[in-house]
Structure 1
Amino acid sequence: MATIATETEAGTAADPFDVTRPELYRDDTWHAPFRKLRADAPVHYCANSDFGPYWSVSNYKYIVEVESLPDLYSSEVAGITVADLQEGDVRMPMFIAMDRPKHTGQRRTVAPAFTPSEMIRLNPNVRQRTAEILDALPVGETFDWVDNVSIELTTQMLAILFDFPWEDRRKLTFWSDWAGDIEIVKDAEKRQERLRHLYECAAYFGQLWQSKIGKDPTPDLISMMLHSDAMAEMEPNEFLGNLILLIVGGNDTTRNSMTAFAYGLDQFPDERAKLEADPALIPNAVQEIIRWQTPLSHMRRTATQDTVLAGQQIKAGDKIALWYVSANRDESVFDDADSIRVDRPNARRHLAFGHGIHRCVGARLAELQIGILIEEMAKRRLRVNVVGAPERIGACFVHGYRKLPVELSRY
């Protein structure tokens, strides 16, 4: 087995290529270890981490191979993150963490909310709300882009998707942040606090569910679940699990890509100028920004039988982390991969939405929202200028930002 571990001064085995360490993402220093892994050990066994032993799959080719074999590499056996269930935790099934055939039926239930025709229907609403938010922003004054733009836009969209009471929509952000924080697994008290918050979420949505019983179907996710054969009779924990999936998926992917648009183009002013000069590049720039950011760093699979991957002996039950954040910087696929190139010819090949049967069901909606944001910025000739260091999420699952101080100017 290829190994690139070292020894600490105390003599204990240490693995500098344990890429689950939260400080790598908090400090944005994850690039170097992944670059080394892709070059020397694209399928690497990490024996010691805060989440236990796991295999790191860090290059594009082998991630696609694993994702293309969902019966061999299960999403259901032990979940979709490197964090295992702890004693006292409650299992919350969700369709992204299910194998076929149950995954198929539940995914098909919510998929109609994200069809091309639905994107056409939603477009005017997304555009109007984006315009209102941008027109209310101060020009030439410092504000937090994450809170005022990214969170507000995505939370409004989630409220529409769920037919959620508008005045309470920030609860969705609150629940998403608690549900998506993988570091909480290390703290027993916080795990219990998270459980309380998630049960509050379940109770709130339970009331929404009850309010729609006996009513005609409507184009929101709660109604779609209620009127489907695959999801109408879910157990409470499965109902909560699928809610959390849709909230976190809808919130974090779009929210952190919207912030990456502001932050990333500020880091690459020549590319920003190229985009400002040619709005026809916007659809491709959306894909490139999603690739460059990769809002979810990894997904986890579990081997269902002994197998071989990249010459490494994988045992049944082994934990496998698929590092999308690394695959999207794979030099063999993306030239000059650490840079944003708004006209990158293969930007759409990114793996930020996954691959295969578990590819993000809401990908089109995320692309629509980010694209409209950039289009409406261009119409107003608004430019985002970053005026301070971003505060990043210190965790190996959600890859994003807590704060980003900016000022707007005109060009």
Structure 2
Amino acid sequence: MENAPETNADQNPEEFYRSPTTTPEADPWALPLEDIDLATGAIFQAQKHHEYFKRLRQENPVHYHDKNPEIGPYWSLTRYEDIMAVDTDFERFSSEPSIALFDELLGEERAPMFIAMDPPRHDEQRGAVLPAVGPVRLKDLDQLIRKRTVEVLDELPTGTPFNWVEKVSIELTTRMLATLFDFPFEERRKLTFWSEIITTPPILMGLTIEDRLNHLGECLQTFTALFKERQFEGNESQDFISLLANNPATADLEGVELLGNLMLLIVGGNDTTRNSMSAGVLFMHENPAEFQKIKDDQSLIPSAVAEIIRYQTPLSYMRRTAKEDVEIRGKQIKKGDKIAMWYASGNRDESFFPDADKFIIDRPNVRRHMAFGFGIHRCMGNRVAEAQLRIVWEEILKRFERLEVVAEPERVEHSFVHGIKALQVIAHPKGNKP
């Protein structure tokens, strides 16, 4: 990163930066505003981030922090209205060079991906893969999603604890990713592993920087072979790889640019669905009256799915870079400044969502949540994610009286991906109410 101070993480790849001030133990309401560093995974892991966001929405909704040596100075937008304005203004706020506050997702060489591009390149590359998740394709996928959901749920143990994340969320997500990429089904777990390699500091996975680069090298080699094979065959299938390989706008992708686009699709397909699928079980356990609502009226399931996504917000933020000097709420943002649009905060903005910290499945305006973004960069797989979650809850209600969470969830230490690593659950089948 240009002009960034050297850090411990630069000197020793086995370490990464943790804020000395913004910690789970600190009082979010007493910490000096200038010491608040929202890009701190520990506060998300400890579920303390919402209090920081609430304070900033009230006291300093356009917040500047310049003490994080790993990512450099950055602005934080915490109110729904401001996030919406920036997210839909690609003329003044660029997605290049990165969607995250840290500049590099794939190692030393920056990996171009269409979500981190501006028009017209963005439109060309995004348009190439849209058919894979478009309305026609989704109609075809619906039956397959249900078949796989039935298979996975019917294999679950009852009356004994199991990890819902491993047995359901990851399994269903990887099966869908394998379909969307037409990836070898028996190797599907590689897709979620590569997704974690991209978004997780190596030390948190028990890996070195060299390990990470080796895994990414394997990923690139695998996808390059599939890309060339489908290009040679002139494959007209509607999977992501075939669409990229045979569209004039993307047929010449290679190296890190190919990898960047494919990893974007993997991360997008993995994190939103997987973490919402896990979080929904937790939220329904914590809010039995809301669970009763969908038991009594299954037409509320689509609304419940949207509320799960709002309440969890699987990707906490997206970054933009100012293309010119601009003023927001009296704050002077300079050309080139990093801006974090905190979807996790916008989705809890009380001025837009009344009782925003409550889980309410029939919330009237829930479909206006920010978790999928807005404008030209709105998540293109949102309908597939919603379909997967809807079908999971439809099939849960056919089989189980309730899903009991029996231990505190294990969460990831990350400010970008708001995820759950493990969720111990006991499934109580219908007819066996304790």
Query: Is the 1:217–1:223 Cα contact (8 Å) retained in structure 2?
Result: yes
Q: Give how far 1:88 is off.
A: 6.7
Report the equivalent of 1:200: 218
Residue in 2 that maps onto 1:291: 310
Could you tell me how far apart the structure 2 residues matched to 1:406 and 1:142 are?
Answer: 5
Q: Does the alignment pair 1:75 with 2:118?
A: no
Deviation per residue, 1:347-394 (Å, 9 max, x gap):
100000011110001000000000000011112244211000000010
* CA displacement 1:177-222 (0-9 Å, x = unmatched): 11112x45999x8444322211111111112123222243112111
Separation (CA, whole Å) in 2 of partners of 1:90 and 1:108: 25
Q: Is structure 2 residue 42 aligned with structure 1 residue 23?
A: yes
- Match of 1:92, SS? coil
Shift of 1:114: 1.3
CA distance in structure 2 between the partners assigned to 1:305 and 1:117 by the alignment: 40
Tell me what 2:179 maps to.
160
Distance 1:192 1:98 in 2: 28
* Cα shift at 1:84: 2.4
Partner of 1:54: 74
Partner of 1:230: 249
Aligned 1:213-292 pairs, distance under 5 A: 213-292=232-311
Distance 2:262 2:164 in 1: 26
> 5+ residue gaps in structure 2?
1-20
Match of residue 131 from structure 2: 112
With over 3 angstroms needed to count, the CA separation of the structure-2 counterparts of 1:57 and 1:186, relative to structure 1, is: farther
Equivalent in 327, 334, 340 of residue 321 of structure 1 = 340
Q: SS at 1:65's partner residue?
A: helix
**Partner deviation per Cα, 1:277-336 (whole Å, 9 max, x = no partner):** 111100111111000000000111111111111211000111100100110000011111
CA contact (8 A) 1:126 1:372 kept: yes
> Are the equivalent residues in 2 in contact too, given 1:43–1:55 (CA < 8 A)?
yes
Partners of 1:294 and 1:352 within 8 A in 2 = yes
Query: In structure 2, how many angstroms separate the alpha carbons of the residues matched to 1:382 and 1:13?
Result: 48
Mapped partners of 1:101, 1:210: distance in 2: 25
Q: Distance in 1 between matches of 2:392 and 2:174?
A: 14
In structure 2, distance between residues paired with 1:347 and 1:154: 24
Matches of 1:256 and 1:186, distance apart in 2: 18
* CA distance in 1 between partners of 2:156 and 2:239 (Å): 30
Alignment partners' CA distance in 2, 1:87 and 1:285:
35
Q: Which has the higher contact order (CA 8 A, sep 6+)?
A: 1
CA offsets 1:242-279 (integer angstroms, 9 cap, x no match): 11100110001100000011111111111111111111
Identity of aligned residues (%): 48
1:19 maps to a residue whose letter is L
Does residue 390 of structure 1 match 2:390? Answer: no
SS of 1:146's equivalent in the other structure is: helix
Amino acid at match of 1:160: T
Runs of 5+ unmatched residues, structure 1:
none
Shift of 1:15: 3.9
TM-score by length of 1: 0.93
The reply on whether 1:377 has 2:365 as its aligned counterpart is no
1:373 aligned partner, one-letter code: V
Give 1:173 deviation, angstroms: 1.1
Q: What amino acid is aligned across from residue 218 of structure 2 in structure 1? A: E
- Residue 233 of structure 2 aligns to a residue whose secondary structure is coil
Aligned equivalent of 2:419: 400
Residue 211 of structure 1 aligns with which residue?
229
Please give the alpha-carbon distance, in whole angstroms, between the structure 2 residues aligned to 1:248 and 1:87: 13
